[in-house]
C-alpha cells in the first residue's frame, strides 16, 4: 500500500497552473511592528519567479517595510519586529539557523539613492564576490565583474575606466553600478526600493529596459511611487494602504479594472 502511495505521489500532476510561474517568495500573515505601532497588518501574498512584482501605495502605507522583510533588512532596525511566515524557495527566512549574509546574497537589494562605495568601479562590483569567496582566482573575479557589469548594461560605458571611482559616474550609471554589484553575487531575487526616483526619464528608461531583460534570469520586486512605471514594467501589482494589502493581482487588471474602489481611487489620483 505504501509503495502505491509513493507511485501516486511521483506521478501526480502538479497542482500549480502550468501558465503561472512557480512561487519563489511567499508572505503569510505577516505583521510588522515599529515599537508598539502596527505598520503591516496580516499581509499574505506570493511572488512568482522570473516576474516583476510592483508594490504600490501612498507614502507610509508599508510597502517598503514589506520589501525589507524579504531579505531581513528590517533586522537592522532595533524597534522593528516581524511576525508571520516568510519563505524563500520554501524555506522560512526568519528561522534562527538562516545565515542572513548568505540570504542577502540570494536576495539582493537596490536602494532609492545610488550608494556606490567610494572605491573604483571594479572594486564596487568585486567586493561582494570577494567576501563571499565566489572567485578562485583574479581571472575568475574579473570574469564575474565584467559579466555583472554587462548584465547591468553598464560595461560598454565604463570598459576603459574600471579603475576610476564609482562615485564619479552619473546618477543613472551609479544606480546600474549598484545593480551590477547586486548581480555579482549571483542572486535569485532583486529587491528594488524606488530605484528610479532620483533619475531623469532617459536614465529611468534605461533601468526599466534593464529590468525587463533581467527578469529572464531573476525575480524582481520593486517599490515605486510611479503608477506609470508600475504599469509599464510589472506583471503583478500589490496595492498597500495604511498597512493593509488591499489588492494583489495581474498588473493589467489592477490598472484597467481593479476590484476595490480604494485601489481605483489611488491609481487614478483621487487619494494620495
Partner 1 sequence: MNNHHIVNSFDNALNKNESLILEMGGRVEQQLSLATRALQKEDIKLSKKVVSSHNHIRQLEGKVNASAIQLLALRHPVAEDLRNVVMSLRIAGHLERIGQYTKNMARRTHTITKADAFIGSIDVLVRMSELVQSMIKSTLDAYNNREAQIAEDVREQDEGVDHMHNTLFRELLTYMMEDPRNISGAMHLLFIAKNIERMGDHSVEIAEEIIFMITGGWPTEKRPKGDNTSRMLLSPEDLGPSSVTVEEH
Other CB atoms within 10 A of residue 226 CB: 16
Mark the segment that binds partner 1 (CB under 8 A) among 84-92, 181-189, 192-200, 253-261: 253-261
Instruction: Give yes or no for residue 270 binding partner 1 (CB under 8 A).
Output: yes
Binding track, positions 216-235, relative to partner 1; x by CB under 8 A: -----------xx--x----
Residue 92 or 268 with smaller CB distance to partner 1: 268
Give the β-pairing of 91-92 and 23-34.
Answer: unpaired
With H, G, I as helix, E, B as strand and everything else as coil, classify residue 220: strand
Q: How far is the CB of 272 from partner 1 (least distance, A)?
A: 6
Residue 92 or 256 with smaller CB distance to partner 1: 256
Q: 141: which residues sit within 8 A by CB, 6+ positions away?
A: 126, 129, 130, 135
Q: How far is the CB of 267 from partner 1 (least distance, A)?
A: 5
Q: How far is the CB of 12 from partner 1 (least distance, A)?
A: 35
Other CB atoms within 10 A of residue 166 CB: 25
Instruction: Give yes or no for residue 268 binding partner 1 (CB under 8 A).
Output: yes
Q: How far is the CB of 54 from partner 1 (least distance, A)?
A: 13
Q: How far is the CB of 220 from partner 1 (least distance, A)?
A: 22
Residue 109 or 254 with smaller CB distance to partner 1: 254
Q: How far is the CB of 253 from partner 1 (least distance, A)?
A: 9
Mark the segment that binds partner 1 (CB under 8 A) among 113-121, 214-222, 238-246, 260-268: 260-268
Residue 155 or 255 with smaller CB distance to partner 1: 255
> Taking every pair of C-alpha atoms in the chain, what is the biggest distance, in angstroms?
69
Residue 164 or 259 with smaller CB distance to partner 1: 259
Q: Write 81-85 long-range contacts (CB < 8 A, 24+).
A: 81/32, 81/33, 82/30, 82/31, 82/32, 82/33, 83/29, 83/30, 83/31, 83/33, 84/27, 84/28, 84/29, 84/30, 84/31, 84/42, 84/43, 85/26, 85/27, 85/28, 85/29, 85/30
Mark the segment that binds partner 1 (CB under 8 A) among 5-13, 75-83, 214-222, 255-263: 255-263
- Find, among 222, 250, 253, the residue nearest to 57 by Cα: 222
With cell 499581509, the residue in question is 43
CA terminus-to-terminus distance, the chain? 60
CA torsion through residues 64, 65, 66, 67, sign:
positive
- Find, among 53, 18, 45, 82, the residue nearest to 189 by Cα: 53
User: Total number of residues binding partner 1 (CB under 8 A)?
Assistant: 17
Instruction: Give yes or no for residue 2 binding partner 1 (CB under 8 A).
Output: no
Q: How far is the CB of 237 from partner 1 (least distance, A)?
A: 11
Residues that bind partner 1 (CB under 8 A): 227-228, 231, 255-258, 261, 263-265, 267-272
Amino acid at each position: 500500500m505504501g509503495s502505491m502511495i509513493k507511485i501516486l505521489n511521483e506521478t501526480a500532476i502538479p497542482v500549480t497552473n502550468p501558465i503561472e510561474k512557480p512561487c519563489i517568495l511567499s508572505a503569510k500573515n505577516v505583521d510588522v511592528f515599529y515599537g508598539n505601532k502596527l505598520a503591516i497588518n496580516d499581509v499574505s501574498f506570493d511572488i512568482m519567479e522570473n516576474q516583476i512584482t510592483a508594490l504600490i501605495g501612498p507614502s507610509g502605507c508599508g510597502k517598503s517595510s514589506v520589501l525589507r522583510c524579504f531579505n531581513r533588512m528590517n533586522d537592522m532596525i532595533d524597534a522593528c519586529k516581524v511576525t508571520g511566515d516568510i519563505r524563500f524557495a520554501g524555506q522560512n527566512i526568519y528561522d534562527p539557523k538562516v545565515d542572513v549574509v548568505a540570504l542577502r546574497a540570494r536576495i539582493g537589494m537596490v536602494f532609492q539613492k545610488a550608494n556606490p562605495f567610494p572605491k573604483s568601479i571594479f572594486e564596487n562590483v568585486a567586493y561582494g564576490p570577494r567576501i563571499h569567496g565566489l572567485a578562485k582566482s583574479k581571472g575568475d573575479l574579473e570574469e564575474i565583474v565584467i559579466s555583472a557589469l554587462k548584465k547591468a548594461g553598464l560595461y560598454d560605458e565604463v570598459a576603459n575606466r574600471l579603475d576610476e571611482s564609482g562615485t564619479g559616474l552619473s546618477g543613472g550609471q551609479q544606480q546600474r553600478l549598484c545593480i551590477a554589484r547586486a548581480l555579482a553575487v549571483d542572486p535569485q531575487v532583486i529587491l528594488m526600493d524606488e530605484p528610479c526616483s532620483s533619475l531623469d526619464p532617459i536614465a529611468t528608461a534605461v533601468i526599466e529596459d534593464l529590468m525587463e531583460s533581467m527578469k529572464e534570469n531573476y525575480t524582481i520586486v520593486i517599490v515605486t511611487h510611479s503608477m506609470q512605471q508600475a504599469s509599464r514594467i510589472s506583471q503583478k501589482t500589490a496595492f498597500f494602504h495604511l498597512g493593509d494589502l488591499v489588492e494583489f493581482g495581474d498588473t493589467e487588471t489592477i490598472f484597467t479594472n481593479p476590484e476595490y474602489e480604494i485601489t481605483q481611487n489611488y491609481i487614478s489620483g483621487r487619494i494620495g
